[in-house]
Chain A
Amino acid sequence: MHVLTVPADLDSLDDVGKYVVEAASQAGLDRKAAYRLRLAVDEIMTNIINYGHTEVGLTGDVTVRSAIEADKLTIILEDRARPFDPRERPEPEDLDRPLEERNIGGLGVYLALKGVDHFNYEYVDQMNRNIFVMYRPLQA
C-alpha cells in the first residue's frame, strides 16, 4: 500500500483509521483483528499528537507505512517528536475498581499493546517508530 503522511493533528485520526482498515482488509484480517489493530494505531497516534506535539507546542507530520507479507501485516507510525516508548508506560493496576475511584490514565497504551499480536518500538535517526504486527489467517 501507499505511504500516508498527515499533520500531527486530531483531525488526522479519521484518515489514519481509514488507512488501517483498508490495509487490514487487503491482508484478510477478520473483523475483530482489524478492529483491534485500528484501535491500537488510533491510540498511539492520539498520544503522538497530544503528548508529542500539541502539549509541547510542536507541529509536524506523522508518516504511516504498511507492509503485507505472507504471514503478517505490519503498520508503522513514524514521527519526530521527543522519544517515547509506549512499552515503558506502566500498565493500569486498578482496572477492577469502580470508575470513580480509578486513575483513568494509561488506558490507550494498554489497549494498544494488548490488542495487537506484536508491538515494537525503536528510536532511529531522531525518529520514533511505533510498529504494530498482526498475523494473517492461514490461506485455505
Chain B
Amino acid sequence: MAFTCTLTLNNEVAHITLAGELDAAVAPQFRAKIEEAAAAKVTRLVLFMSELEYMASAGLRSLAFAKQKMGANVDIYMVSVQETVAETITMTGFHNSVIMVESYDEA
C-alpha cells in the first residue's frame, strides 16, 4: 500500500498520521513533515500508526532526526503501533526513547 503522511498542528502539539509502507524511498516525506513540525516549535509529537503496515530503519532514523530537530525534551508518542512494526522498534531499543500507547486522548 502506498505511503501517506499527514500533519496537523494543534497549538504546541503536532499530530502526524502515517499509513502504508514506510521504506527508504518515502522516508524523506516523513522527514519533511517532522521539519515542518519542528519549525512550529511544538512541545509534543504524536504519531498515529494504526494504518502503518511496514517500517524500515529509514523510519527509525527519521525519529532520531525528530529528537535532534525538536530537542530531547519533546515527547514522542506512538499510538496503536502494529505488532510487527513494534517488534522493530523494540529490537532497536527505540521503545526506550518514545512513549508507546494503545490510544491517545489529548488531556
Task: Select from chain A the residue with minimum beta-carbon distance to B85.
Answer: A35
- Chain A interface size band reads 20 to 34
Tell me if A43 and B97 are in contact (CB < 8 A).
Answer: no
B23 on the interface (CB 8 Å rule)?
A: yes
Give how many A-B residue pairs fall within 8 Å (CB-CB).
76
Tell me if B64 and A102 are in contact (CB < 8 A).
Answer: yes
* Listed stretches A59-67, A104-112, A127-135; interface member: A104-112
Shortest C-beta distance, B85 to chain A (Å), equals 9
Q: 0/1 per residue, B16-46, Cβ < 8 Å to A?
A: 0000010111000000000000000000000
* Separation of A48 and B107 alpha carbons in the complex (Å): 45
Shortest C-beta distance, B92 to chain A (Å), equals 5
Task: Select from chain B the residue with minimum beta-carbon distance to A101.
Answer: B72
Shortest C-beta distance, A132 to chain B (Å), equals 15
Task: Select from chain A the residue with minimum beta-carbon distance to B76.
Answer: A99
Tell me if B23 and A98 are in contact (CB < 8 A).
Answer: no
Given known pairs A46-B24, A96-B96, the reply for A108 and B57 (CB within 8 Å) is yes
Tell me if B23 and A99 are in contact (CB < 8 A).
Answer: no
Q: Give chain B residues whose Cβ lies under 8 Å from the Cβ of A114.
A: 91
Given known pairs A46-B58, A107-B57, the reply for A13 and B25 (CB within 8 Å) is yes
Interface centre among A17, A31, A114, by most chain B C-beta atoms within 10 angstroms, is A17
Task: Select from chain B the residue with minimum beta-carbon distance to A106.
Answer: B57
Q: Give chain A residues whose Cβ lies under 8 Å from the Cβ of B56.
A: 39, 42-43, 46, 108
Residue numbers of B with Cβ under 8 A of A are 21, 23-25, 54, 56-58, 60-61, 63-64, 67-68, 72, 83-84, 87-88, 91-94, 96-97
Residue numbers of A with Cβ under 8 A of B are 10-11, 13-14, 17, 31-32, 35-36, 38-39, 42-43, 46, 49-50, 92, 95-100, 102, 104, 107-108, 110-111, 114
Closest 6 CB pairs of A and B: A95-B93, A10-B25, A99-B97, A108-B57, A100-B72, A107-B57
